[in-house]
Structure 1
Amino acid sequence: MAFINSNNFETDQVLVEEHMFVKTLILNRPKQLNALSYQMISRLLELFLAWEEDCNVKIIILKGKGRAFCAGGDVAAVVRDISEGNWRLGAEFFWKEFILNYVMATYRKPQVSILNGIVMGGGAGASIHGRFRVATENSAFAMPETALGLFPDVGASYYFSRLPGFFGEYLGLTGSRLDGAEMLACGLATHFVPSARLSLLEEALCKLDSSDPLVVSAAIDQFSEQPRLKDKSAYHRLEIIDKCFCRRTTEQIIYALEMEAVNRMDDWISSTIRSLEKASPTSLKISLRSIREGRLQGVGQCLVREYRMVCHVMRGEVSKDFFEGCRALLLDKDKNPKWKPSKLECISDDMVDGYFSKIDDEGWEDLKLPPRSNLPVHAIAKL
């Protein structure tokens, strides 16, 4: 990953609109679906920290330019650095990204994220931790990391584990996509506003002189709707999801789904099984454990643990599936990754344990979270 020090370059990737008491941040890499570069993350963190101390800033609006809010972190750049022997550059990328996630989760002022388009991976981390998440009919949420040989990170083990029942395990393991109505139903979004009304919503927010969440919520409510879930929505399958994804191991989850498939003809069950069979077996195992541990941890603890995990993934000691997944899906695009180990039964508990241990490398240290005066406040914690 090239670290570019040009202030103009950094500023161009994150545009700022100034209003009386409101700052609007626009992610500005539309051709890359606003994938987060190191420069973008650094700029966002800098601005969030500065505005938290500015009494004239009451609300921060975050949105993306083009058809995506943010399609994730720029993992292709991370893989390029690691392939050149610079895994620590990748570690620095995730370090700064996770600090940004933590600052957002503990922010004293309302963050309103306008999720009008694709919201994936790092884009979820840059929005779900904030107080308000506004979905639209264009929203498309997913965390498809298990198909990349990674795992749902950016604090996903915190917010996935707080979704109803075992819906978070389902989303994290399968990488399934949700629309705006489903995001609202499960709590990933706090509001649903038709895209045609977004300009009116932003206009109303920019007139507010208050950081009171009740005042901000009331302003968003004026433009909100209660969308109807599609008949084939996975959210209608919560009973089956809870029955199968509550199981202790990935193998037991797949077996439970296969038993359901025997008892009923259901394309959704078949496609869910196929998604799990296509994913990296190593990713499935560490993802399930991560979300389960997240149920008992605060957001800071989740991010510290996920940082350990992502460093192990980048070092490729147990498996190099992250590099293979990026090759198959992002670089060569043959969509035919060759996972190693190739089967769930080949991955021992000791191998999984390794991803949760400290890195044995001189100079490496655990993620150091900045001191914060605010506890996580977003709505998922209150479901």
Structure 2
Amino acid sequence: MALASQILVKQSSNARTIILNRPEQLNVTSLEMASRLLELFRAYEEDPSVKLIIVKGEGRAFCAGGDVTAFINGGWKQGAIFFQKAYTIDYLSATYTKVQVSLLRGIVMGGGAGLSLHGRFRVVTDNTVFAMPETALGSFPDVGASYFLSRLPGFFGEYVGLTGVKLNGAEMLACGLATHFVPLNKLSSLEDALCKANTGDPEIIDNIIHDFSNKNPKLKENSQYLRLKTIDMCFSRRTVEEIISALEKEADRNMDDWILWTIRTLRKASPTSLKNFLRSIREGRLEGVGKCLTREYKMSCKVLQAVFCKDFFEGYRAVLLDKDKKPKWEPSKLEFVSDDMVDYYFAPLDDQDSQDLKLPIRSNLTSYAISKL
């Protein structure tokens, strides 16, 4: 598919609708797509005739993440270039001086979360499915996840990032990842109303979305968000080992399918990835979005460099290539992942051709993610 058709733009008076258009690939973003998105975000912010940005995906996904195959085949420096562009888009979105509305129909994972969840308005619907599944792939939740997940109630962000659990639209609204829930049959009408409104006033746009919204979509009886008390008790622990131990003690008292699934999922994930993300989200609780993205960039580059740990490549093989879902992690157990090994991912880049992520200077330093709603 030609690049020109992978990113579509619809113009309507003051609004610009950016459409991710790789439906057969669940709209995963390539380097070329990231370059075009960055170009559009910059241009629209400088264009006085543009007051509103709408971002959506074609088909059954908003965006399922970045193009992992390209990272594997192109080498770590190719991946670093992609991360530079993707993280810069995320930072622009988080500090945008104009209103961004993300229409999150279908799958929202990985890089798709970065493109949407940093924006001011995040609209979910009946078929929205969100997840950050990176620990099962030998990586870690990035694209600013240490910022937006750490702002969720209690320690729900640790649970979501460590396990890769899937959340539906109602759960995203309840925990704060989404700002509005609009029924699927009203989503097109909402988009039309936004395009016709001819305004960039956040309050007016909020009211328009509100008029189409289901204010209190019902959580399912088995929703993990209803487990917040147990999640807080277990996932507030200092280490991954202590989290699993707390879950196992809870299972002894009250063995149910959810606790068993949680323990089993953590034990199947990459030990290095789990420890990296737990430290990342704990640091993210105390950092702004820019610092989170800068740190995650270093970590992502080191995951791709695979100097001490090749879990990302093994996860790709097991989950996406051979699909046997039997990765052989190395180190294979949590106790084999030392603090020094984790420290490596948080240290400055040591490659002579590498440099830290340089984010643009912004006039608007207000981030619209979770805590700023």
Residue 61 (structure 1) aligned with residue 54 (structure 2): yes
Structure 1 counterpart of 2:68, from 59, 72, 75:
75
Give the secondary-structure state (helix, strand or coil) at the position aligned to 2:220: coil
Alignment of 1:116-265 (within 5 A): 116-225=105-214, 226-265=216-255
Shift of 1:317: 1.3
For 2:366 and 2:138, locate their aligned partners in 1 and report how far apart those are by CA, in whole Å.
29
Secondary structure at 1:211's aligned position in 2?
coil
Aligned pairs for 1:1-383 (under 5 A) are: 9-82=2-75, 87-225=76-214, 226-382=216-372
Gaps of 5+ in 2: none
Say if 1:42 and 1:96, in contact at 8 Å, map to a contact too.
Answer: yes
1:3 aligns to what? none
* Aligned residues of 1:320 and 1:340 also touching (Cα < 8 A): yes
- Find the counterpart in structure 2 of residue 5 from structure 1: none
> Do the aligned partners of 1:174 and 1:276 also contact (CA within 8 Å) in 2?
yes
1:134-173 Cα offsets, whole Å, 9 max, x none, are 0001000000000000000000000000000000000000
1:265 Cα deviation after fit:
2.4
Structure 1 gaps of 5+ residues are 1-7
For residues 377 and 349 of structure 1, the distance between their equivalents in structure 2, rounded to whole angstroms, comes to 32
In the superposition, the TM-score normalised over structure 1's length comes to: 0.96
Aligned partner of 2:360: which letter? Answer: P
The CA RMSD measured in Å over matched residues stands at: 0.9
C-alpha contact 1:11 1:43 (8 A) present in aligned 2: no
Amino acid in the other structure paired with 2:324: D
Secondary structure class of the residue paired with 2:331: coil
* Residues 331/148 of structure 1: CA separation in 2 closer, same or farther (3 Å cut): same
Q: Is the 8 A contact 2:310 2:330 kept in 1?
A: yes
- Indicate conservation of the 8 Å contact 2:23/2:58, yes or no: yes
Contact 1:72 1:122 in 2 (8 A): yes
State how far apart, in whole Å, the 1-side matches of 2:110 and 2:350 are: 27
In structure 2, distance between residues paired with 1:278 and 1:138? 27
Q: How far is the alpha carbon of 1:379 from its aligned partner? A: 4.6
1:270-304 per-residue CA deviation (whole Å, 9 max, x = no partner) reads 00111101100000000000000000000000000
Segments of 4+ moved more than 6 angstroms: none
Q: What percentage of aligned pairs have identical amino acids?
A: 64
- Per mean C-alpha deviation after superposition, the further-off stretch among 113-122 and 367-376 is 367-376
Contact 1:19-1:206 within 8 A present in 2 as well? yes
| Other structure's SS at 1:127 match | helix
Q: In 1, Cα distance between the equivalents of 2:327 and 2:11?
A: 46
**Number of residue pairs matched?**
372
Taking a change above 3 Å as real, the CA distance of residues 321 and 379 of structure 1, as seen in their structure-2 partners, is: closer
Cα 1:379–1:321 change in 2 (3 A) is closer
- Please list the CA deviations of residues 162-193 of structure 1 after superposition, one character each: whole Å capped at 9, or x if unmatched: 00000000000000000000000001100000
- Cα distance in structure 1, aligned partners of 2:133 and 2:292: 19
CA apart distance, 1:212: 1.5
Deviation at 1:55, TM superposition (A): 1.1
* Amino acid of the structure 1 residue aligned with 2:145: A
Distance of 2:242 and 2:220 partners within structure 1: 29
TM-score of the superposition, structure 2-length normalised? 0.98
Secondary structure of the residue aligned to 1:12 is helix
Query: Counterpart of 2:56 in 1: which secondary structure?
Result: strand
Counterparts of 1:370 and 1:277, CA distance in 2: 39
Aligned-partner residue type, residue 96 of structure 1? K
Higher mean alpha-carbon deviation, 205-214 vs 243-252, is at 205-214
CA–CA separation in structure 2 for the residues paired with 1:377 and 1:89? 29
For the 8 Å contact 2:136–2:269, the answer to whether it is kept is yes
Rounded to whole Å, the distance in 2 between the matches of 1:229 and 1:16 is 35
* DSSP 3-state at the match of 1:126: helix
Q: Matched residues in 2 for 1:378 and 1:231: separation?
A: 30
- Which amino acid is 2:33 matched to? M
